[in-house]
Structure 1
Amino acid sequence: MNQLPFESNVVILCDGSFPNHHIPLSVLENAKQIICCDGAADKLIEYGMEPTFIVGDIDSVSDKTKTDFADRIVLNTDQETNDQTKAVEFVINWGAKSVIILGATGKREDHTIGNISLLLDYAEKLEVISISNSGIFRPVLQSQTIPSYKGQQVSIFSLGTPAAITSKDLKYPLKNTILNSWWMGTLNECLDESFSLEFEKGKLIVFQKFE
């Protein structure tokens, strides 16, 4: 069972690996609003769908797409942030309360790490997850119980201020454990239909692998 934590009509499609797993593909195909980050627009059009808007510095968009969708281009040349963040800021200003990000991984590893880490910043402003072709990245800013299923592979990453984490219903339990390195919370496994993470301070990103 691969149930998403929430549904959203707004999808941001980044210019990483295009969705090929049935879950992110379903999210994409059912989205009412698709905000493409720069060159992702060409991939979406090739797939047979159209962007609602194209956001970024537009340096990797084909000339044909620039012409055909000129009225949907939102030019943002700010070099102090990346295209994913530009798209998130756009949907926030647009009034969106939740967004699902697709295509944020799968190319350059430094871009992938940057995109995933930024979820913690976005989560302070709206409900957000990022879905790759292998699983879901979820920002966790406070203690909570996370829906899952028995046997689901789970990884936990602690960013910023170290968090002393206590878990419930994970195969390798955490007991006031501080994850000092990114590898320390990886390759765990859920033992039930959900698992819990308790911590007082800190910011976590939880990855739940698809079947």
Structure 2
Amino acid sequence: MINLKLSTLSAGRKVSTVIVADGKFPEHKIPLKALADAEIVVCCDGATTKVDSYGITPTAVVGDLDSLSDSLKMKYSDRLFHEPDQNSNDLTKAIMWCLARNYTDITILGATGLREDHTLGNIGLLSKYARLGVNVKMLTDTGYFLPLLSSSTLESFKGQQVSIFSPSNKAIITTINLRYPIENRSLEEYWMGTLNESLGDSFGISFENESLIIFMTYQ
């Protein structure tokens, strides 16, 4: 079993951190590699069962702990962080735990795939986390979500499927090097920016004063 300890980490550098939420545990090799390579693994409450079964000992277990079995509470008693605040979900509690320790390079796993209300809520929080200073991405079994706070050029590959979501629907967006160009217009409905396609090894998105969430498929 892989045991991740804070004491093994060197100071003064970015620490690869994975938060595992209590959704569908990943099966694709890319999120599983991210989990295996992580220096810090933070479990959201009930996700501890899945991570423990996978053979990884989490660095921390964060949340209201209502989904954690008594046996796992005992096993990981030295790394439980009880956060009972009902005005924040377990994923945000885990993010705040990381920020308090200056872990800002964060990959989120297990945030989708089961209950759709949890999925939407978790994806919708990405922009908030980015505004808090987190370099965050959310990996699924088909691709990954990224929040954008400003105009960006993103690495890609020809044929990559790209979807653009505008949570506020107020951003005026222009794209470069996508099969279906968006030119100086807003995306008033979530479906309007979906199922686009990259034409090369990068594409650009220009917008101002709002945030976007991008979904990109794996190669």
Normalising by structure 1, report the TM-score. Answer: 0.95
Counterparts of 1:170 and 1:194 in 2: how far apart (Å)? 9
Q: CA deviation at 1:161?
A: 5.6
Amino acid at match of 2:52: I
For each residue in 1:113-167, what CA deviation from the matched residue of structure 2 results, as whole angstroms up to 9, or x when unmatched? 0000100000012111111111110000100101110000000000126111110
Aligned to 1:150: 158
> Are 1:8 and 1:100, in contact at CA under 8 Å, matched by a contact in 2?
no
Amino acid at match of 1:182: Y
Q: CA deviation at 1:183?
A: 0.4
Aligned to 1:111: 118
Q: CA deviation at 1:201?
A: 2.2
For each residue in 1:4-46, what CA deviation from the matched residue of structure 2 results, as whole angstroms up to 9, or x when unmatched? xxx9511100000101100000000000110000011110010
Q: CA deviation at 1:177?
A: 1.7
Structure 2, gaps ≥5 residues long: 1-13
Structure 1 counterpart SS, 2:166: strand
Amino acid at match of 1:187: L
Counterparts of 1:27 and 1:77 in 2: how far apart (Å)? 29
Tell me if 1:165 matches 2:143. no
Aligned to 1:137: 145
Q: Aligned residue pairs: how many?
A: 205
Structure 1 counterpart SS, 2:127: helix
Q: CA deviation at 1:95?
A: 1.1
Aligned to 2:6: none
Amino acid at match of 2:31: P
Structure 1 counterpart SS, 2:106: strand
Aligned to 2:135: 127
> Are 2:169 and 2:189, in contact at CA under 8 Å, matched by a contact in 1?
no
Structure 2 counterpart SS, 1:29: helix
Q: Which runs of 4+ in 1 moved over 6 A?
A: none
> Are 1:161 and 1:203, in contact at CA under 8 Å, matched by a contact in 2?
no
Counterparts of 1:141 and 1:200 in 2: how far apart (Å)? 8
Counterparts of 2:177 and 2:55 in 1: how far apart (Å)? 42
Structure 1, gaps ≥5 residues long: 1-6
Aligned to 1:191: 199
Counterparts of 1:161 and 1:136 in 2: how far apart (Å)? 21
Aligned to 1:88: 95
1:60 to 46, 49, 67: 67
Tell me if 1:51 matches 2:58. yes
Structure 2 counterpart SS, 1:137: strand
Amino acid at match of 1:112: T
Amino acid at match of 2:149: L
> Are 2:21 and 2:111, in contact at CA under 8 Å, matched by a contact in 1?
yes
Q: CA deviation at 1:196?
A: 0.1
Normalising by structure 2, report the TM-score. Answer: 0.91
Structure 1 counterpart SS, 2:199: coil
- Taking every aligned residue pair, what percent have the same amino acid on both sides? 47
Counterparts of 2:30 and 2:185 in 1: how far apart (Å)? 32
